[in-house]
Amino acid sequence: MSFLIRHRTSFSIALLLFAVARSFAAEKPNIIVIMADDMGYADAGFTGSKEILTPNLDALAASGVVFRQGYANHPFCGPTRAALLSGRYQHRIGFETNPAFDPSNPIMGIDPDVTLFPKRLQNAGYVTGCVGKWHLGAAEPFHPNNRGFDYFYGFLGGGHDYFQIDLTKPVKEGYLQGLTRNDKPATFDGYLTTALSRDAARFVNDHKDKPFFLYVAYNAPHAPLQAPAEDIERYKHIPDKKRRTYAAMVDVMDRGIGEVITAVEKNGLRDNTLVFFLSDNGGPQASKQKPGKWNGSSNQPFRGGKGDLYDGGVHVPFIASWPAKIPAGTSFDSPVISIDISRTAVAAAGGSPGGKQAMEGVDLLPFVSGDQGGVPHEALYWRSGTKWSVLAADGTKQVQDNESDTPQLFFLPDDVSETNDLIASQPDRSKALRESWERWDEANVPCRMLGYIDYHKQRDRFFLEAIPKAATESGYEPTVKGNFK
């Protein structure tokens, strides 16, 4: 009898612990971060588009908060992703350029000593997944499975063809290389954006019983401009062919986002799922130096585009939705930045933001809910090569971009398109902002990598000049001669 009592008691305790564990797990929100690539600010319905259909993004925006002054950490791809995933300004970790695609290079990627926030979520009890574009290094030390992700499906470089894999072509930036699923080669059928969306939805279905974090990093609508013919046909009313294809790319991405959210809803997880959406930078715009770089996007009403530190380069569509915590239809007007996403996610998950490389973003939820007054940031900062910018909480912005030989000062609440330079009339304000930026810059380190264009030039020079020269000096005579240029 005593055995039965002990046995029942142990069984009851086990059930209680199981129930507590299930309850504890249920309190942790699922977290999804969705990132578009090179999407123009004005190309979603919730930011004012009348041309491109984005009903799923619009519904997501209506269900939560739209950050009217949402910013990316950098005006182009890789550094913004390094900032988002580390939760720190990318300049602190030497990641200020796009890395070249080179699976043999153990330096060309995000520093292995840097803790990425998916690892912090793993430590908090989450299963973590990454689907889509990585762009933080193609060698083994940088692989997503080695950087805090339990699951990865996508490509390691900065872009990919949307319809094909062709290993007979030059590797270059890997746009025709195969995809990867964890540690195995992978392929895709049909249109890449759709394949990524379906895989992301499958991750939700497969991990519905445990708190999960899912990073969906689309390469749409990044070049090459490719979309299914039937989707391009839907936008035949748009006169410009480039914008027509671009619109179709955004449309397919929006439908894919809808598929992911539907998976969340069907599994009864929507109320307790925190979803973020943003673009990694503004849409590319034509310039005198690169008249053909426009990808069909619109950043209206902002000045400039991808690569610029004017708002067109860094002011992006930015949403958070968490029905259990964020009131629907909320609008937030103070400046926020992409590193706030990872800091908010870690806070919501009950993870630790500290340690050797403490996260620099701000938990946005107390500000959105009204539990905390004031502003998340007194200032936001950017640096890209010799260009720099600082945006104060009141909307005063100082920027040194290539279009001007000297810094310019703007007051965005009255001049959203940055056309009225106030620097001559407000020298004290300009000086104060510059000094603030310089204090921030003191903690930055040099970039640890060459940009991908310079890297390819040096690598080509090595193979075409250095190796033949070394072979000649050693007396080596090749058995096969040819023109390798």
Contact at 8 Å (CB) between 247 and 255? no
- E strands within 311-415? 318-321, 330-332, 336-337, 379-384, 387-392, 396-400, 408-411
What DSSP string runs through 60-113? Answer: HHHTSEEETTEE-SSSSHHHHHHHHHHTS-GGGGT--SPPP--TT-SSSBS-TT
Distance CA 285, CA 293 (A): 6
Catalytic residue among 77, 91, 207, 315: 77
Would you call 447 a catalytic residue per the annotation? no
d(CA 363, CA 117): 14
Structure tokens, 32: 């999804």
77 labelled catalytic: yes
**Distance from C-alpha of 40 to C-alpha of 51, rounded to nearest angstrom:** 13
Instruction: Identify the active-site residue in 135, 160, 207, 377.
Output: 135
What does 250-304 look like in DSSP terms, one character per residue?
A: HHHHHHHHHHHHHHHHHTT-GGGEEEEEEESSPPP---SS-TT---S---TTSS-
Its sign, for the CA torsion 256, 207, 341, 120, is negative
Query: Which residue matches tokens 């005063």?
Result: 396
Which residues make Cβ contacts (< 8 Å) with residue 92, sequence separation at least 6?
357, 360, 443, 444, 445
Task: Using CB atoms within 10 Å of the CB of residue 309, give its burial: 0 to 12 exposed, 13 to 18 middle, 19+ buried.
Answer: buried
Which active-site residues does the annotation give? 77, 135
